[in-house]
Structure formats: structure tokens, C-alpha cells
A and B are shown apart, each in its own frame.
Chain A
Amino acid sequence: MSRATWIVGLLSLATGCVDTSIQATSVDLSVAGTDARAPFEGRRGATITLSRADVAFGPVYLCAGYTAGELCDEALAEWRDAAVVDALSAAPTSLGAMVALTGTAHSYMFDYGIVSLLTSDAPLVTAAAESLGPASAVVEGVADVEGQSIPFTVRVRVEQSADVEQGVPVVRSGEDDGFEHPIAPDGGSRLLVRFDPRAWLAMADFAALVEDATCAPGLDVACAGPIEQRCAADGSVAETRDCAALGGACVRDLGCVERLELGSDDQVGRALRIGLEAGARPELVFE
């Protein structure tokens, strides 16, 4: 028997019989978007062309239980940071290593750069979210609908709002998600989080922004296609102009806009927020 064998044997004795219990490990975390610069069809016949889809991603936790959230107070893996992800770039970008334990992850939870803390009523805005506005996501593009092209920018905050869930990440998978991935020892697992920004805007109703209207008492402005109508007090049309000719679009209640700025309270913003939270979560791919 070689000396090395003896040494290994003695070390095994000194540390007890080596068992196969949970071990510390790591998971390589990378993110990727989708090459979605080509126009795609949105709700009610809108054609959307994206030029920017940045999202603050993180922190993220993988959990052993089938339901994340409060029941994941001891996670299997975590990445305690946030980064801005270019969701229009399909090339994976490494975010580093998640601290992890071996086991099987059955659920996950994460935030979009704005983190609810147990210790504070105000959420923590990470540097990544701060760089976006602060916001969790910024989406820019052009929506072609009803013959108009609407340049738009949507900037939304996605954050925990329920008091009773203070301190819990906003995106949480459940048992129905069927998430089940073993975490290998010795850093043998890779997790790719892939975003598809097209899905974020699936519920965005750009058509509603350009619905035709005519001046009426109480209205300041109305749109008839790309034509902006400034309304007089008696409901008559006081002034018109062609927004398209000005390089913009006529948007309901706003009139001509060069670029439509939308936030979390707008329908498109709400749709984006809901998409990020639920309907259009990124895909977590284990390798």
C-alpha cells in the first residue's frame, strides 16, 4: 500500500467515514436575452419593434421546497447581487457563481433589482436598478398600430407590495411550475436565465393608445389617426396637426408625442410589470 493511500486512509479516519450528505458547491450563473430586434406582433394587431430591453435581475435564490417565498428561508443557492441584463442579446453573459449546496432545487425566487427587506419598509434599490432610472426594466421600441408608429419607452418598478410578504422576493415559482433540478457537487451545475422581451409586452395594448376620438366638451385633445385635434371648450376642433409629419404619433389624451414615456401606472407599464412578475418570467435552464 502506498504512502498516499495510507495518508488518505488516516485522513478519512480522522474526519470520520466520509459520507454523502449535503455539500457546499456553486452554480455558474449566466443570463441571456433573445434576439428580438425583428418586429413581432403584439396585442390587437400591433407590430412592435424593440430597440432596448434592459432588465435588472437579481438577487436570485433556488429553494429545496416546492413553494418558494417564506418557506425558503434556507435556500439551496443564492446570488446576492443584481445586474442589468440586455434582454435583446442572445449571447449568454456570466454573472458569476451562486453560493450553493448540493441537493435538488424545486423552486426559485428572485427580484428585478428592487429588493424588499425585512428590516426596512423601504425597499433596497440596487445599483443595477438605480442605473435604469431607478427601475426594474426599461423597454424601448416602436409600436406600429392603426397606421401609426409610436416610439415608446416603458420604465417599470417591480417590487414587493404586500406587507405580509415583506422581505420576500417578488417572483416566486410554485409547485405547478415543475421546476426540479439537482445541484451538482464541485460546481458542476450551470444555470442560464434566458429572457424573452417579446413576451413581456404580450399584454400591452398599444392600440388603446391610438384609438380614434373626436373633440367633445371636457376633452383637451383627441386623435384621429395621426392627426392631433386640439379641442375648444365647446367641444369643437380648435386646431389640428399631423403628428406623423412631425416624426411622432398621436396618442390618446396626449396628442402628438415624439416618444411615448410610460411608467408602472400605465396600461403598457402594468402589462410589462405583470409580464415580468408572472406571465413572462425568464426561463431558468439548468445545464
Chain B
Amino acid sequence: MRGLRRCLRAGCLGGLALCVCLPLSVRAQDAEPEAPEEEAPPAPEPEPPRGLSPPRIVASTPPRYPAGRISEGLHPSVVLIVTLDESGGVVDSAVEHSADAEFDAAAQEAVRSWTFAPATRDGQPIASRIRVAVHFELPAFDVATPADGGTSVEAGHPGPHGEHSHGAEPSPPVEAPPPEEAPPEPAAPVEPAEPEEPAEPEEELGVTAAVERELRDAERGASSFDVERDLLSIAPHQDGADLMLAVPGVFVARAEGLAVGQRIQLRGFDADHGQDIELSVGGLPVNLPSHIHGQGYSDLGFLIPEVVHRVRATEGVSDPRQGDFAVAGSVGFELGVDDAHRGWRIESGYGLYDTFRQLVMWAPEGERTETFGAVQYQHTGGFGQRRSGDAASAIIQVGARSGSWRLRGLGILYGARADLAGVVRVDDVEAGRVGFYDAYAQPTAQAQNALSGRFMAGFFGDYRGRGDDTGAFRIWLGADTFRLQENFTGFVQRSRTLADTAGRGDLIEQRNQTYSAGVSGRYRTEAWRPWDWAGARLEVGLDGRLDFVDQAQNLLAMPRNQTWDTRVDASIVASNVSLWGDVEITATEHVTLHVGVRSALLLYEIDDRLGNFVPLVRPRDGFIMGFRRSAGGVTVGPRASAEVRPTEWLKLRASYGEGYRSPQARTLDDGEAAPFTTVRSADLGAIFEHERLLRVAVSGFWTELSDDIAFEPREGRLERIGASRRLGAVLYAQARPLDWLLGSLSVTYVDAELLEPPPPSADDPQPAFVPGQNLPYVAPVVIRADVGVHGTLAEDVLDQRLTGRIGIGYSFLSPRPLPFGGMADPVNLFDASAGLGWGPVDLGVSFYNLFDTRWAASEFLFASNWDPTGIPSRVPARHLSAGSPFTFMVTLGVSP
């Protein structure tokens, strides 16, 4: 409770009612508070004495701008000399450069809540002093980019030991000062303490800390959540996508092996491989339009968990920057390596089922958080039949600053190939005809596998003007290849091209290659303040992308993969140009309104080489194959939100937005006004927060979708199932009650209803869905809990500190409705991890599915026949793809 005690000492709890909660920024910078007109180049950093390492700021919260001083429009800085003990705790702070008493007090109060890494001499922590500058900014007007992770603007010069601080999050919107207000200054030379004597608190190392403050886009929707690195890393993760488990309402499972995208659920949406979630990594869009395996297909297999700095989720639609696929919401992964983990890291892990993981990561010390390189290789023998696979990924990101611009380059390369077990019928499992973790023995089942590869590269720039205007641009390229052989239905298919051919096994081959390029930019004006108590800002933006897609789907016959039917052979050129505008209005320090609109023009050119084909018609020249066509459409959707802050610790938010999902291009007719799937989403919620100690968010939501889609096993892809509606609520809590204890809990409930499924037809006389039924595959209740403890076990073990950590993650999915009235079993999963750190060495063990629960990573209900020599089944039956049983991995990491 040290943090709390500090806070109590500072009287911040008692003074909550008096504190005015305004969006402020914090930046500790160089000692000089006065800003020169022009930015000066940073001076060379003096070398600290050998063996002496200065203290570092690990996390910081912004100071509170004194409520009564806002109208003065000041941007003062207070320079403090902060005394730290051997553990990095703040013992005392003294004002070296005063702004005035109110600002001084606010700065000292803020610094008391900061987290420091202690100075060390020869690796041993020592007491020290550090000079810290705390900068005050007037309220800012930020616009969120929920899926645009990685976009941020530097607040000041990164000092020699400066580091991003995210301790303020979740926090009021923060704004960084323009460069001219925050000039880089040479750091004061490091003054070594007497090498032979332990450093005393009164010794000042003379290190100047510089806290670089990201320009964090403000959370806007009532259901917007930031999950920071410390919470993300509590429970073990088998891959980067698993980090999303910590996001409220999300469940992630990898049912199809290492080379196929994860199945993601988000508050009432079975987003399958991501068609309903706008996903981005480091600002690069992940969703692939018109993908053969599903619209908006996303595979996050390339993500290396160690380089994910933060996950930001905006559930629902509330922000004009949310674009295509933001139906259930947007999830952005921000990449970076914090100061505590910089340097080299080489980590090897080996576990059950011949699972191996090798990580090599380098984050140069002294460089920006976003600068790092990481390479990962994974291999698994698989926990059951046909589940082996290999995957490798590399992520390199470099950040730099040039004048008013902060620039960033990001490159991602990924490749994977894995065998697939496919699905098994539950009745076959129960009858012992096939094992729960097995694959069917038929050659068509034993031939299931997948291969994927992806390359993405982006160049980003964040601009901060001389006023508080900001801007950003993004240029990116991408290439993706995907090939899948998967059999869901066994032996029920007939050839449409070979009239007398049937029953060769429903091994679907899907191939998809996408080449993409995109550009986006935005500009936000300075605040226009007609009155002291009110102001407004305007943001405009443009987002465009071009995708070249080549795709095919066939049926393959074993043993030599002969093509015995051809289902899809098409090329698509898709372009998407979007414009948005957003006005932010603040009225007093209590109210912020956003009103915006986003419009998109989508154009498609389709070369459907199997178009016009009529099955079973003879002679073949009775029709002429091929159907080239073009289509396009425009969508416009409003976005609005309001935030009211009646007290410092309470925010009330409401939001409404209309978003869209682009169509699968092959479904469009010539000249058709592209039908967009539109979503209307409204959220209402309240957020209680007390700095980093506790944050509780409660929200209710309503979402209506014009045309939902669901998995169609016969074709192995998504098909339309009609309009749907979701109504639900989310409870989310983050707590860091003690220095060594942290945790989070989320409970999501949703009633998801299908409103207008396709009516019965001659082709489909008994549709799988009826009006009013619960949406298939959607779990009404999703619960996630993470609890972690960490701390120092011994200060000196063979001249090194010994630390320990334990983390537990729990996921619950209530029974999920399936098509044809089926119901999937609930899911209860516990994961746990433990580790010891000794100097540069870290030994950890991760347990997955701790209680060895049998669970289905995916479950379906459809007709299949897996007995080619027996009487075929035609009634839809439950099928599942097994989730991982209990497994563990031992990891040894070295940070030389």
C-alpha cells in the first residue's frame, strides 16, 4: 500500500472533491523552465561514472492543473529535486525552480505518485536524487484513434534516460506542449557518488529525467478500454493475439493451428477471423478485404507479445477514425519496449508436445520506446493429431524525431505452415470412433494444412505545430499470401463441373493473395477559444487504400490433390477512400462533446472467371464462362460522443455511431451500388478512476447490424444470415492496490438476437436460422480475470537482486447457441505463470489450461458425413475443434 500511503500523505484522497480534474499534461524535462524560441539540438549526453547507473522514471501521472488558474492560460514548469530511496521510492521533493505555490504543490503531489527505478552502483540499488521538471499544460482537445495504435506525438526532447511514461493512463486527455515550449536541453552532467561509499539520500546524482509524454488520443466511447503492458503480461500468452483476452468482452481461440487466424469474439459478435473488428498493429491495418476465408480476415500470428506496449479497444462505433470492419469495435496494438525491458533479450522456451519458442529482441537503451527489433520462431508438435506447425515472425520499428515531426518506420514479416486436424463430430467422439484431439483417419482429413505469409511496412509521421495543432500521416504497404486445405463436411460434396463425379472428399482448397497499399493523413486545428470556459477544435482526415486480390477455391481429391471441382477463381481490385471530420467542443472543465461524420467511397473491379457457369449443363458451350464487372458505393455515418466529468474521479460518457463493413466483392453484381453492412451502435457508461489505483467502468450498449454473417461449413467461409441486434452491458475493473499486486476483471453480458434471417427457399427449405433466435456462436456471458503479484524476494543473492512473479488468468464463456438450435458447452480456462528473475537471467514457467479442461476452440452444427462406406448422415450435428489441453512451457531468458 505504499503508493496509497503516499497518496494519503499527500492528501490527495481527502482533497479529491477539491481537485479539479482537467486534461493536463506532464513532462519532466530539463531543469530550465524557460523555453527558447527555437528548438536547440540536444547536447551530447555526459557519460556517467563507470558502474553508476542513474535513476529512471518508470511511470508517471500528470499533475493536476490548479482549477482556479485555468483562465490565466499559463504553461508553467516546476523543477523539483526528488530524493529516492534504494527501492526507487520517493522520500522527499524540494522545489528548485518555482512557478508559484499552487503549481509547486501540484507538481510535488504528482511526483509522489510516480514510479522510479533506483539508481545503481555496480548493479546495486542506491539512494539518489534526481532533478525533475514538471510541466503544466492547459486542457487539451484530443481525438481518439482507437484502431490507429502507435500514433502519438512527442512532447519534449527525450532525455538521456527519459522514457515514455504511461502511468497516467487511464487519465484525462493529455496534451503535450509544442516543441518551442519544451526545448531540449543538455542534461546536467552526472555527478558520481563516492564510489567506495554508499550513496546517501542527500547525494544528488545530477541526473535530469526527461519524461516524454505521448500524445495519447483520448478515450471517447463509453466502452473504450486501454490495457497497459503490466496488465497484459500477468497471465501467460501462447501468442500475441492472446493479449486481447485482457480486453473486456473478448475471447480468442486458435482453432485452426499456427497458420490460420484466430477466432475472436467481442461483446456479442462472433468476429470469426476478425471480420467485425477493425484490427491494427502499430498503426498498420490488419484486416484483409474480400479475403477468400472471410471478409476482413485477420491473422495476428505475427504478433510478438513482448513488443506489445498497450492494447486499446474501442467497443462499438463512436469515433470518425474508425473505418471498415469497425462493427463490433476496434482493437489497436501499440508496439514498444519499455525502459525496464530494453537492451538485448534472448529467450528460449520448451514445453509439452515438443513446443519450442525462440525470441531474440533488441531494444537499444537510450532510444525511444518504439525503437526495437524482435524475431520469433515457434514450433509445436501439436497436442493431438495433425497439429504440428512452424511459424516465424520479425518486427522492426524505429522512431526518430525531426523538428516538429516524430517519425516512425515499422516493418513486419511473417510466415507459418501448420497441419490441421479440422473438426470432429461430437457423436463420433462419444462413440469412440475418433478421439477428441484426433483427426479423422481418411486421407482427405489427413491432408488438412495451411500456409500463410505476410509482409507489412509503414512509415508514420506525427506532427505538432507551434500551437496545439497536430497532424499525422501514414503510408503503408502490405502483401499477404494464404493457402488452406480443410475439410469440414467429410464426404457430402458433388462436383459442379464434372457431372458424374462426387464423394471424393470435401477437402476445400482456398488460396488468396492480397497486395495492398494505403495512405492516410489528418490535421487537427488549434483550439478556438471564444470564451475562457469553452473552446472548439476541428479535425479532418483522409484514409485510402488499394487492394489487389487474387483468390481461388477448389475441391481436392486425395492422394495427389487432383482438383475435382472448381468453386472460385477471381481477381478483385478494391479501393477505399474515406474522409472524416470531427468537431470537439469543450464547455467548462466538465463537458466535452464530439460531433463528427465519416464517409467512404468503395470501388470494386471483379474478374470472376467462373461467372455465368451453370452446373451440369451439357454441352459445355451452352454457356460462356467469365463475368467481369465493377461496382461501387458510398456510405456516410455520423459519430458523436459526450463526456461529462462531474468530479475528478467520475466520468459519464455516451456515444453513438454508424459504421460499416465493406462487402465481399464477389457477391456484387455489375453496376450494383455496393451494399454496405451498416452498424448502429450506442453506448452509455460511467468510469470511476483513482489514478492508477483503481479504475472501474460500467457501460451498457446497443448494436444493430443490417446484415450479419456466419460461418458456412460447406464452403468453409462466411455467408450472410440477415440483420441482428445486440443489447448488453460490460463491467470492467483494473486495480493496482499494492505495489506488488495488480489485477483486472471484466464481465460482459449480451443478448444477441437474429432479426431477419433469409427466408426458406427451394435451395434452402430449412434455413439454419429463424427470426428471433439467439445469434449462433455468440456466448452471452464472457468473463475474464487476471491477477498478478510480483516483487523482490531478496535484495542480494550472489550480488544480484532476486525477484519473483506469479500470474493467473481465467476465462469463462457461457454456452453458445449454435445453428439448428444446438448449444455449445461452456468454457472455463485457467492459465498461470510463475517466474524468477536474478540479475540478467529470468526463468519462467507457463501453464495453459491448468485443470486440463476439455474444451472446444470452435464448435459448429452442420451436416457432415465422415463415414464414406456407411449410410450417410444428413441431419446437422455438433462438430468441434479441440482446444489445447493442459500444457506448460519452461522459459529461460537472458538480458545481457
A residues contacting B by CB (< 8 A) are: 13-17, 19-24, 58-59, 61, 63-67, 70-78, 80-82, 99-103, 106, 115, 117-120, 124, 126, 163-164, 166-167
Contact = CB atoms under 8 A, between A and B. Distances in A.
Interface in B746-781: 749-753, 760, 762-763, 765-766, 768-770, 772-774, 778, 780-781
Contact of A17 (B491, B751, B766): B751
A120 B494 contact: no
Contacts of A14: 780-781, 814-815, 826
Nearest to B750: A16
A166 B821 contact: no
B352 interface: no
Contacts of A58: 871
B784 to A, nearest CB: 15
Interface in B863-896: 863, 865, 868-877
Contacts of A163: 500
Contact of B492 (A20, A66, A80, A118): A118
B822 interface: yes
A120 B773 CA distance: 39
Contact of A65 (B750, B766, B863): B766
Identify the 3 closest CB pairs spanning chains A and B, nearest first.
A64-B766, A65-B765, A118-B503
Contacts of B875: 61, 74-78, 99-101
Contacts of A61: 874-875
A120 B763 contact: no
A164 B814 contact: no
A95 B826 CA distance: 34
B499 A164 contact: yes
A124 B869 contact: yes
A237 B105 CA distance: 137
B492 A13 contact: no
A76 B751 CA distance: 27
Contacts of B503: 117-120, 166-167
Residue among A16, A64, A106, A166 facing the most chain B CB atoms (10 A cut-off): A16
A195 B772 CA distance: 41
A21 B772 contact: yes
B770 A21 contact: yes
Interface of B: 491-492, 494, 499-500, 502-504, 616, 749-753, 760, 762-763, 765-766, 768-770, 772-774, 778, 780-781, 814-815, 817, 820-823, 826, 862-863, 865, 868-877
A74 B863 contact: yes
Contacts of A73: 492, 863, 874
B558 to A, nearest CB: 12
23 contacts: A13-B780, A14-B780, A15-B814, A16-B751, A16-B817, A22-B820, A24-B822, A66-B762, A70-B494, A72-B874, A75-B863, A76-B766, A99-B877, A101-B875, A102-B821, A118-B494, A119-B491, A119-B868, A120-B869, A124-B870, A164-B500, A164-B616, A166-B503
Chain A binding surface SS class: loop
A23 B766 contact: no
Nearest to A80: B871
B716 to A, nearest CB: 16
A169 B347 CA distance: 60
Nearest to B493: A118
A263 B133 CA distance: 104
A15 B873 contact: no
Nearest to B812: A14
Contacts, number: 141
B772 A19 contact: yes
B752 A63 contact: no
Contacts of B765: 63-66, 71, 106
B733 to A, nearest CB: 20
B420 to A, nearest CB: 21
Given A14-B815, A16-B774, A117 B862 contact: no
Contact of B821 (A24, A65, A77, A82): A24
B872 A118 contact: yes
A119 B762 CA distance: 25
Contact of A120 (B499, B752, B868): B868
A61 B874 CA distance: 8
Contacts of A119: 491, 502-504, 868-869
Given A24-B822, A71-B762, A118 B502 contact: yes
A101 B502 CA distance: 27
Contact of B766 (A78, A103, A166): A103
B291 to A, nearest CB: 26
A82 B873 CA distance: 14
A58 B781 CA distance: 43
B821 A22 contact: yes
Contacts of B877: 99
B772 A65 contact: no
Contacts of B814: 14-16
Given A119-B503, A167-B494, A126 B815 contact: no
A232 B881 CA distance: 77
Nearest to A166: B502
B774 A21 contact: yes
Contacts of A164: 499-500, 616
A13 to B, nearest CB: 7
Nearest to A76: B766
A190 B469 CA distance: 75
Contacts of A126: 871
Contact of B774 (A17, A99, A115): A17
Contacts of B772: 19-21
A126 B869 CA distance: 11
Residue among B491, B502, B753, B874 facing the most chain A CB atoms (10 A cut-off): B874
B873 A80 contact: yes
Contacts of B820: 22, 24, 101
A118 B491 contact: yes
A220 to B, nearest CB: 42
Given A82-B871, A126-B871, 7 more contacts: A19-B773, A21-B769, A106-B765, A118-B865, A164-B500, A164-B616, A167-B502
A185 to B, nearest CB: 9
A15 B872 contact: no
B819 to A, nearest CB: 8
A81 B820 CA distance: 23
A166 B781 CA distance: 45
Contact of B762 (A65, A75, A166): A65
B873 A13 contact: no
B730 to A, nearest CB: 15
Nearest to B862: A74
A16 B869 contact: no
Contact of A59 (B753, B781, B871): B871
A122 to B, nearest CB: 10
Nearest to B776: A21
Contact of B874 (A19, A21, A24, A74): A74
Nearest to B763: A71
A126 B774 CA distance: 40
A127 to B, nearest CB: 11
Contacts of B773: 19-22
Contacts of A70: 494
Contacts of A101: 766, 820-821, 875-876
Contacts of A71: 762-763, 765
A203 B870 CA distance: 34
Given A21-B821, A23-B821, A15 B780 contact: yes
Contacts of B823: 15
Residue among B774, B778, B820, B873 facing the most chain A CB atoms (10 A cut-off): B820
A72 B752 CA distance: 29
B114 to A, nearest CB: 43
Contact of A13 (B504, B753, B781, B871): B781
Contacts of A74: 766, 768, 862-863, 874-876
Contact of A117 (B869, B874, B876): B869
A203 B877 CA distance: 42
Contacts of B770: 21-22
A26 to B, nearest CB: 10
A15 B814 CA distance: 6
